Structure 1
Amino acid sequence: MNIERVDGSLIIGTAEVDYKLQAHSLAWDSINTADRASQTKVLLKDEDHRACEFISSENWEVIEAGPVSITVKQDGVWKKSDGSDHVRVTCELAIYSANGLMEVSVTPHNPRRASHPGGLWDLGDRGSVFFRGLNVETTFSQEGHITLISGEPETSKTVTSNQSAGIYQDSSGGTHWDSPNHVDRFGKITTRFRGYSISKDGQAISSGLRANPRLIWESDKTSLQIAVPRFWQNFPTSVCGEQRKVVAGLFPEDSGQLYELQGGERKRQTLFIDHSERKDDLSWVYAPLTPVLDASVYEASDAFPWFQANQPKGPLDELINQGLEGPYNFFQKREQIDEYGWRNFGDIFADHETLYQPEGEPPLVSHYNNQYDAIYGFARQFALTGDSRWFELMDDLARHVVDIDIYHTNEDRAEYNHGLFWHTDHYLPAHTATHRTFTRHNDTSSTPGQTGGGPAAEHCYTTGLLYHYLMTGQADSRAAVLDLTQWMVNLHDGSRGLLAQLLAVKKQEVPKLKALVRGEQPSTHRYPFTRGTGNYLTALMDAAILEPHNGWLEKASQVMRDTIHPGDDIGARNLLDVEIGWSYLILLSAMARFLKLKRQYQEIDASYLYTREAFLKYTAWMQTNESPFLQEPEQLEFANDTWVAQDIRKAMLLFNAAELSQGDEAADYRHTAQTWLEQACNTLANSPEKHFSRILIILAQNYAQHSETEAPHSDVDKATAPIHAAGDPLLTWPQLIARIVQRISLGITQFRPAREKAWLDARMNR
C-alpha cells in the first residue's frame, strides 16, 4: 500500500480503491480514478438532537503497518453547540491492501467520574453523558440502487429499492427480549418490540428476530457494501440506504432512546465497508474464521503454565465441558436474562445468584464481571481443545470487560480510577446499577453493614486479558492489563503525591505503630494475606510479561517478601476461619505461578528460593490442617457447592508442592492432592448446582497443575538449604520509623500543588 501525507490529510492507496483521510476530521473520501466516489463521516447528535462538532486532539496516526493491512487512529472530542466537551471518541480504520476493505471501529467514551453518592452507581448519575445517536454516514455524488439482505439463518429476507431500504434491530429477538436487564435511569424497559423491522420506501414491510444484515448500494460508477458484526447482539443497531446515502446506526436515533454513557464508561463498535468493484460477500463478518493451533504448539512454547496437550479427559474436563454442552451452557445462560444489548453483550449471567430465590420467580438480573477470570479459563480451554466456542466466549467477554467493567477515568480517587467493578451484589438484582454492583434500589447487602462501595483489590483479574491480547492482538486488552496493574499499585502502595503517601501511612503504618505502643509484636508484613494481594501479584506478573524491562517482576518480588516469610507463625494467621481467611488460597496460587515464571526465565535467585521455602511451609501446613470446606457447613454464611469448587484450589496447590519437592514428600503431596481433587469432582458431578457460572469458572481457572506428574526442574537440588537470611518476621521500631520516613520522603519529592488539589477534590467529590 502507498501512504503519503498531503496538507495534513493522509492518502492511502490499495489495489482496488484509494482513501483520503481528511486532516483533523472524522471523515474520509473513497477515490475512484480521479473523482471522489463517496465521503464517509462519523456523526454524533446530543440529547437535543443537535449535531456535535468534532475537535481533533491529534491528527490521523499510523499505529500499525504491514503487508496485509494498515491501521490508523484519531482521537478527539465531540463538543456541544455551547462549546462544552460532550463525548470523547477514538476512531480506528484498518484498511486491507488486497481489496481496500475497511474495518471501522468507533469508541465513544465518557472520561468523567461518576459521583456515586454513598457508593451507589446507578444510571442517571450526574457524571453521565447523554446522546441521541451515533452514525457512520456515507454520501455519494450520484443516485444508486439499494439491496438489503437481513441475513437471518434459514429465513433471510432480501429487499431492493431505488428509493430507500433499511433494517432496525430493536431488541435481541430472544424469548426474554423485554427483560428488566434493559432499563433506563427511570427503571423503564427500553426495548419496544421483539427482534428487527425492515422498511422499504419509508414503510415497514417485514420483521424477524436476529439479523446479520448486509446492505449493498450500487450505481453505474461505484458501489459500496456494509456489514456490522454483532449487529443483533449489540442492539439497538440499524443499517439503511437511500438514493445518495448509506447510514450505519451504531447507536441509532430510531430507538427513541436517550443513550447514557456512565462516568468512565465506553463502547467500541465496529463495521466493515467494502468499496471494491468485486462485490465480495461480506456475510463472513458474522462468522469469522478462528485460527486454531494444535495444543502441542502451546505446550512446546510454554505459552500457558502447567499445560500438557492431548491428555486423556477426566472428571474435571467433563464438568468444565458443561460450559459448552450442558443444558445451561454459557450461551444458553445469555438467554435466561437476555444478556444482550450494547452494554451487556459478552458478560455472563451470574445464575448462581438465583440459588436462594423462591421457586417460580423469574431469575434476577445479575452480572458476573469476570470474577475468578473467566476470560483466562475460556482461553485455556480453547488452547487445550481447539473448540472455537471457547474462543468466542473469551473474545466476547474480553471486549465487554475492557469497555464496560473497567472504570476509565482519571478524575475519581486513585483507589477507583481504572479499576474493575465488582459483580452484582450477591443474591440481589442489579436494577439500574448496570454492571457496577451497588444500587440505591437495594436497601440491604450481602455484606452486613454495607450498602455501597466501588472497585477493590479483591476483584481484579488480568491474566485472561493478557491471553486475549496474545491470541488476538487486541491492543485494548493489553492496555487494560497495564491500567489495572497500575491501579493495584495505587491501591496497595499509594498513588503519587504527598497527601496520597500520608494516607498510605495512616492505613498501613499507623496501625503497626499503635500495636508497638501497646507492647505487641506485629509482623513485618505490609500486605494482607488475602486474594487482594494475590491479585496484585498476578497483575504484576502479567504486566512483566508485557513489559519485561519495566521492573514489574522485581516489584512482585518485593510484594512477596512483604507478605509472607518462611518463619511465619501460620496459626496466628487464622486461615481456618473460612469466611475471613479462605482466599489465602488465591495468594498461594499467585506464588506458585511466580515460581513457575522464574523457572521459565531461568532465574533461580534469592527471591525464588525465599518464595519457594515460604510456599512449601504453607503447603505442608495445609496438608496437615486443611479439610473440605463443607465438612463444617455451620462455619459458612452460605453453605453451597461453590465451596466444593473452591476446594479444587487446595488440590492444585498440593500438586504445585509436589512439583517443588522430591521423593516421598512429593509422592505424599501428590496423593493428597489427587484425593482432594477426586472428592471435589465426585461431589460436583452429583450436585444440582454444578452448572452454575461461578462453579464452572472456578474449575476452568484452576485447571492445570494436576496434569503434571513429574518434577524435572533443576532447582530442586539447589534449593534445599533454608533461606533465613531475611531475618525474623517481627517488626521493630527502627524498621517502622524507616518505613514512615521513606513514604513521607517519597511524597515530598512527588509534591505538586495541582496534583494535591486534584487528589483532595476527588476525595471530597467536588
Structure 2
Amino acid sequence: MSPTIDAENTVTEPDASADPAHAGNPLATIAFCRQGATAAPYPHPVCVGVPLAKGQLSPDQPLALSDGETTLPLQTAPLAHWPYGSVRWLRVESLVAFTGDSMPTLTLSPSGPDASGPPIRVTETDDGIDVFNGVRHFHFPKQSAEWHSRSDEGLRIATPELTTADGQPCEAQVLTAWHLLDQGPVRVRLSMTANWRTAQEGMLAKSTITVDIFRDSETVRSAIDLHNPRRARHPGGLWDLGDPGSVHFQSLVIRLRSDRMSQSWVRPHPDDAGIESDGELLIYQDSSGGEHWDSRNHIDADSRVTTTFRGFKLVRQGETVFRGDRAEPVLGVADRLGEVQVCMDHFWQNFPSALEADREGIQIGLFPRQTATPYELQGGERKTQQCHIHFGTDRDALTGCFHPPVPIIDASHYEQTQAFPWFAARETHGPLEDLIQAGIDGPNNFFAKREVIDEYGWRNFGELFADHETLYQAPGEAPFISHYNNQYDPIYGFARQFARTGDPRWFELMDDLARHVRDIDIYHTDDDRVEYNHGLFWHTDHYLDAHTATHRTFTRHNDTSSTPGQTGGGPAAEHCYTTGLLYHYFLTGDTDSRDAVLELAHWMVANQEGQGGFLEQILALKKQDLPRVKAKLRGETVTAHQYPFTRATGNYLNALLDAWTLTGDSQWLKRAEAVIAKTIHPADDPDLRNLLDVETGWSYLVFMASLAKYIDLKRANGDTDGLFSYAVAAFRQYARWMVERERPFLEDPEPLEFPNDTWTAQEIRKILIMRLAAAFDPENRTHYEAKAQEWTEAMTIRLADSPESGFTRILCILMQNYGAYDRIQPIALTDSTPNTGDSTPILTWRTLTLRIIQRMMRGIGTFQPAKERAWLNARLERGS
C-alpha cells in the first residue's frame, strides 16, 4: 500500500491493518553479497536496516524471517517512525548460516503468532547480571569492568587493562555498572563505563565496554573505546600533537586468563595453516604493510615516524618465525578450561595491533605494548575497537568475522519506500554516473587513494585522503598529508550509491568512514568553548601539509593558511554533516551513529544560539548587532534576517531536520522552522544579499538544498501548513532569480583564489536547485529544466576531460548532490497564503532595538559568575 497525495498536497497514511491481503505480503527481501571467506556451518550474526513505506508496518505487528525453507530467529527494533506511528526504518537481526557458494535470500513478512522465538535469558542478581544463551553461562559483576564465561570446566575471565606511558597499571573505576542495552531472541547487549585512574595522576581516560552474546553461540563480540574527555589547549587555535590536553599510555588490552595452558596456535590469515607452540606466541602488526608503510602520516609530536618495520611478524617463544605484510589472524589456546580463540576487526588496518598467548592466557592488543613509542590520545579524541572471542574447539569458527557477507536490499525497495529523498532505481548510466563510478572503479578510486599516503593506522583508517590538496604541488614532490574529515558528507554519498547499486564496496567505504568520523573527527569534550564542544573538525588546511595536526586542521608548522589572515581556529558551523551518519544508522542499526547525529545537532544549536551568559551576549551584540547599527546609520538597506544565507545556516537547518527525522521530537522541527523564517523571506530581493560574489556568496546553495529537504519532508509527512507554504514561496523567489542571474562559476575566474574544477563540480548544486524548482514551481518548469540541462551538459563535458575529476572533493560534491529529481511529485499551484505574519525582509530600527534589548535581557537573566569565568577562561586559553 502506498500513501496518497491529493490535489492540495495532503498525504494520507494508509491503514495496513485494514488491508486483508496485507498479512501475507512480504515486507522486504534481503539478499547477500559475499566479500571473502565466510563462516562455514556456523550461524553468523546479521543486522540490517529495512525501510518501510508509510503505514506498511505498525509497531506491534508480529514478524517472521525465512530463508525459504526455515523460519530463522528474529529480533527487531524500530529505528525511526512515520507520523502517526508506523515504522519507517526497522532494524532486523538474525543468525544466518552461509554454506557453499550460494548466498541465502531472506524474506521478512508479517506473521500471525510471534515467530521470533523467546528472548535470551537474563537474570539480575545482587552481585551483577547473569546471561544464559542456551549453550553457555556468562556473568557480569556489578563493580568491575571484567566479565566471565562459565562452563563445566570452570570460569574464564575477560579483563580490560590499560597501562600508563611508563608501564604502570591503571585501575578501572566503575562509573556506570554493567547494564542491559538490548535483549531479544537473537542477541543480548550489555554495557558499562569506567574511568581509568592512576595512583599518582588521577583520571587518565575513560572507556565504555559493550558485550554482545548471541543465541546458541559460543562466539561473543566485544567493543571497547578509549576516550580522552579533556579539552585540548590548542594555543593560537593550533591543534598539534604534544598538546597539554593529550594523554599518553603504553597499552590497552583485553586479557583472557588461562589455567595451565598446554598449547597455543595462530593463523596469520583465515586460509593459512596454523603455527603451533607449547609456549608463547605473538603476532604483531607494526604498520600497514603497504608500499608506503613508513609514510609521514604516522608521525609523533616530534615529527618522527613511529612505524619501525613493514607489516607484521610472528614470534614463537622469542624467535621471529614468519613475516608478512597484512595479517587477518586468529589466535587460540588450549588449557584446563578447554579452548578459546580470538580475532580483531580490521587488525592490520588499525595498526598497531597484536594477539598474544603466554602462560597467563591471551592478550588482545587493541593498543599493544610492542610499539616503539607510547600512544597519544588528543583532547576530546576517542577510538573504538572490536574483537570476537570463541569458546569452542573449531578453528574455523571465526573465519567469517573478517569479511562478512553484506546484506543487500534491492534499489526498487528503497525507491518504493521513500527511503532516500529524490531516489530512483535505475539501470541506465549517463556521464554523471560514470564520473561517480570512478570512485570505486577508476585508477584513482577511494581504495587506491588510501595507499598513496598510507591512510591506515588506528587514527587514520576509514578517512579519505584529500588528494585535491596536492593540485598545486611541484611535479615529483611527495604528496601532502591531507585528511578530508567528511566534507560534503561522503558517508551520505556512499550510502546512496550503495542503495542504488548494491555494490558492497560502497558499503565498505561508508562503514569505514562513519566509524572514523564519529571517533576521531568529532571533538568529544564538554570543557572547551561552547562553539567547539562536540563539534566536527574541519578538513586539514587547503594546499598545505597536516604535519602534526593529525585530523584537526591547523598546525604550528604552517605560518600561512588557505584562509587569508587566519592561521588557527576550531570546529565551525560551516563544516557539519549529519545526514550520512543518519543513514549509516538506518542501514546498519549501529546506535553509535545515531548518537553522533544527535551530538552534532546539539553542538549546532549551541554554536548558533549560544547557551546564555552575559559575556556571550555582549560578544554577539558586537559581532551581529553592532554592524547592522553602523550600516543603518550609513543609510544602507539592511535585511531583517538573523542568520546568514550561507552553508553554516544550511548545515544547521539540515542537522535540525535530521534530528527531527531520527527522534520524531517536534522541538527540532520548530527550531528548524524558526531558522527558515529568520534566514529567508518570500518577499526578499535576492540582489541585496550579494550572492554573485562567488567566493563569499556561493554557499547559499547549501541552504537552498536544506530548504528543499524541509519542503520534501513536510510534504511526505502530510503537513502542508502555512510554514510549508512560506518555505515553498521563498524557495520559488530565489529559484526564479537564479534562472535570470546565475552563471557558471568559472565563467569569470578572475575573482577566484583557486579557479580549479572544484568550481565546475559545484555547478551540480545549481542543477539540483533547478531540478527541484521544476517540481516546486511547476508554472516555470520549462525554464528550470532548460537551465538544468544546459548546466549539466557543460559540467559533465568539462569534468570528463579534466585530470581533476577523480579528486576526492569533486567526487564527494557530485555524490552529495546526485539524485533522480525528475521523479519528484510536483507541488500543485494553490491559493494558500504563506504564513509570513507581520514579518518584513527589511530591518527596521524598531526591530533592531527590540533584538538588542532581548539579547541583553537574556544575558542578564542567565548571568552566573562561575559560568562567566569559565566562558572567559576558555577564550583566553587559561586553565579551568
Give the deviation of 1:724 after TM superposition.
Answer: 5.6
Q: Distance in 1 between matches of 2:332 and 2:414?
A: 42
Q: Distance in 2 between matches of 1:346 and 1:569?
A: 44
| Alignment-mate amino acid for residue 725 of structure 2 | L
Aligned-residue CA RMSD in angstroms? 1.6
Contact 2:722 2:834 in 1 (8 A): no
1:131 aligns with 2:246: no
Number of the residue aligned with 2:809: 694
Contact 1:162 1:243 in 2 (8 A): no
| Alignment-mate amino acid for residue 87 of structure 1 | A
CA distance 1:144–1:19, change in 2 (3 Å): farther
SS in 1 for 2:244: coil
Give the deviation of 1:543 after TM superposition.
Answer: 0.6
Q: State which of 692, 699, 709 in structure 1 corresponds to 2:822.
A: 709
Give matches, 1:498-509, under 5 Å: 498-509=614-625
Give matches, 1:175-254, under 5 Å: 175-219=291-335, 221-254=337-370
CA distance 1:172–1:279, change in 2 (3 Å): closer
Number of the residue aligned with 1:583: 699
Number of the residue aligned with 2:18: none
SS in 1 for 2:735: helix
| Alignment-mate amino acid for residue 727 of structure 1 | S
Number of the residue aligned with 1:8: 127
Q: State which of 675, 687, 708 in structure 1 corresponds to 2:790.
A: 675
1:259-311 Cα deviation digits (max 9, x unpaired): 00000000001100111355552121110121110011111111110011124
| Alignment-mate amino acid for residue 428 of structure 1 | L
My pick for the range that moved more, 488-497 or 684-693, is 488-497
Q: Distance in 1 between matches of 2:320 and 2:832?
A: 78
SS in 2 for 1:634: coil
Contact 2:422 2:824 in 1 (8 A): no
SS in 2 for 1:718: coil
Give TM-score, length-normalised by structure 1: 0.96
Give matches, 1:70-85, under 5 Å: 70-82=188-200, 84-85=202-203
Give TM-score, length-normalised by structure 2: 0.84
1:149 aligns with 2:261: no
Give the deviation of 1:449 after TM superposition.
Answer: 1.2
Q: State which of 141, 145, 157 in structure 2 corresponds to 1:26.
A: 145
SS in 2 for 1:255: coil
Q: Percent identity?
A: 49
Q: Distance in 2 between matches of 1:72 and 1:257?
A: 34
Give the deviation of 1:69 after TM superposition.
Answer: 0.7
Give the deviation of 1:710 after TM superposition.
Answer: 5.4
Q: Distance in 2 between matches of 1:291 and 1:710?
A: 27
| Alignment-mate amino acid for residue 853 of structure 2 | V
Tell me, which stretches of 5 or more residues in structure 2 are unaligned?
1-119
Alignment coverage as a number of residue pairs? 759
Give matches, 1:529-544, under 5 Å: 529-544=645-660
Contact 1:87 1:109 in 2 (8 A): yes
Q: Distance in 1 between matches of 2:835 and 2:169?
A: 67
1:652 aligns with 2:768: yes
Contact 2:465 2:483 in 1 (8 A): yes
Give the deviation of 1:522 after TM superposition.
Answer: 1.9
Contact 1:131 1:258 in 2 (8 A): yes
Number of the residue aligned with 1:757: 869
Q: Distance in 1 between matches of 2:488 and 2:136?
A: 47
SS in 1 for 2:829: helix
Contact 2:265 2:332 in 1 (8 A): yes
CA distance 1:483–1:242, change in 2 (3 Å): same
Number of the residue aligned with 2:187: 69
Number of the residue aligned with 1:356: 472
| Alignment-mate amino acid for residue 684 of structure 1 | L
Q: Distance in 1 between matches of 2:220 and 2:689?
A: 58
Contact 2:492 2:579 in 1 (8 A): yes
Contact 2:538 2:571 in 1 (8 A): yes
Contact 1:171 1:341 in 2 (8 A): yes
Q: Distance in 1 between matches of 2:809 and 2:705?
A: 18
Give matches, 1:392-407, under 5 Å: 392-407=508-523
1:444-471 Cα deviation digits (max 9, x unpaired): 1111111111111111111001111111
1:739 aligns with 2:851: yes
SS in 2 for 1:254: coil
Q: Distance in 1 between matches of 2:469 and 2:182?
A: 43
Number of the residue aligned with 1:286: 402
Contact 2:280 2:316 in 1 (8 A): yes
Contact 1:152 1:210 in 2 (8 A): no
CA distance 1:722–1:485, change in 2 (3 Å): closer
1:388-422 Cα deviation digits (max 9, x unpaired): 10010000001000000011000000010011111
Q: Distance in 1 between matches of 2:600 and 2:853?
A: 28
Q: Distance in 2 between matches of 1:142 and 1:496?
A: 62
Q: State which of 394, 406, 418 in structure 1 corresponds to 2:534.
A: 418
Tell me, which stretches of 5 or more residues in structure 1 are unaligned?
none
SS in 1 for 2:447: helix
My pick for the range that moved more, 467-476 or 434-443, is 467-476
CA distance 1:671–1:720, change in 2 (3 Å): farther
SS in 2 for 1:48: coil
CA distance 1:758–1:36, change in 2 (3 Å): farther
CA distance 1:736–1:91, change in 2 (3 Å): same
| Alignment-mate amino acid for residue 77 of structure 1 | N
My pick for the range that moved more, 694-703 or 488-497, is 488-497
Number of the residue aligned with 2:457: 341
SS in 2 for 1:526: coil
My pick for the range that moved more, 375-384 or 614-623, is 614-623
SS in 2 for 1:349: coil
Q: State which of 213, 226, 238 in structure 2 corresponds to 1:120.
A: 238
Give the deviation of 1:743 after TM superposition.
Answer: 3.0
Q: State which of 607, 627, 637 in structure 2 corresponds to 1:491.
A: 607
Q: Distance in 2 between matches of 1:24 and 1:158?
A: 38
Number of the residue aligned with 2:216: 98
Q: Distance in 2 between matches of 1:363 and 1:505?
A: 44
Number of the residue aligned with 1:447: 563
Give the deviation of 1:220 after TM superposition.
Answer: 5.5
| Alignment-mate amino acid for residue 148 of structure 2 | D
Q: Distance in 2 between matches of 1:580 and 1:24?
A: 56
SS in 2 for 1:470: helix
My pick for the range that moved more, 743-752 or 163-172, is 743-752
| Alignment-mate amino acid for residue 789 of structure 2 | Q
Give matches, 1:709-728, under 5 Å: 709=822, 712-713=825-826, 715-718=827-830, 725-728=837-840
Q: State which of 271, 279, 304 in structure 2 corresponds to 1:163.
A: 279
| Alignment-mate amino acid for residue 203 of structure 2 | D
Number of the residue aligned with 2:68: none
1:640-690 Cα deviation digits (max 9, x unpaired): 111110011111110010011225x11221121122112101111111111
Give matches, 1:599-614, under 5 Å: 599-614=715-730
1:589-612 Cα deviation digits (max 9, x unpaired): 111111111111111111111111
Give matches, 1:459-478, under 5 Å: 459-478=575-594
Number of the residue aligned with 1:306: 422
1:639 aligns with 2:755: yes
Q: Distance in 2 between matches of 1:218 and 1:496?
A: 61
Number of the residue aligned with 2:799: 684
Number of the residue aligned with 2:494: 378
My pick for the range that moved more, 258-267 or 59-68, is 59-68
My pick for the range that moved more, 12-21 or 122-131, is 12-21
My pick for the range that moved more, 240-249 or 646-655, is 240-249
SS in 2 for 1:29: strand
Number of the residue aligned with 1:545: 661
Contact 1:37 1:141 in 2 (8 A): no
Give the deviation of 1:6 after TM superposition.
Answer: 2.5
Give the deviation of 1:749 after TM superposition.
Answer: 4.2
Q: Distance in 1 between matches of 2:616 and 2:419?
A: 38
| Alignment-mate amino acid for residue 347 of structure 2 | F
